[in-house]
Amino acid sequence: MDTRRKPSSMAIECLEMFHGIDRTAFRMLTQVLHREVKQSLMVMAFLLSMESMGLNGVVEKSLKLETLGHVLKTEITL
C-alpha cells in the first residue's frame, strides 16, 4: 500500500511562483547574457546564500541589474 501523498496543485503552484524569480535569473544568465552553466550556478548559489543570510530581495534586485547590463551590452555592440 502506497502511503505517500501527492502534493496538491495549489502547493505546486505556490512552489513554482516562489522559485519563478530564481528560474528567471538563471535563464537571464545563461540565455540572455550567454554565461556558462557552471558559472551561472555559482552566481545563483552566491545570491541565494546572501538571501539566506538576511539580505532580502537580492535575486530580484540583481535581475534589474542584469537587465540593465543586457541593455548596455546590446547598445555597445550596435
Confidence of residue 69 (pLDDT cuts 50, 70, 90): low
* Rounded Cα gap, residues 37 and 47, in angstroms: 15
Model confidence pTM above 0.75: no
Q: Among 33, 10, 8, 68, which residue's Cα sits nearest to residue 44?
A: 33
Q: What is the DSSP string of 56-68?
A: TTHHHHHHHHHHH
For the chain, the domains span: 9-77
The residue among 23 and 67 whose pLDDT is bigger is 23
The residue among 67 and 39 whose pLDDT is bigger is 39
* Rounded Cα gap, residues 32 and 34, in angstroms: 6
For the stretch 14-58, pLDDT in tens is 777 777 878 888 888 888 888 899 998 998 888 888 888 887 777
Helix/strand number for the chain, H first, E second: 3, 0
pLDDT attached to residue 73: 59
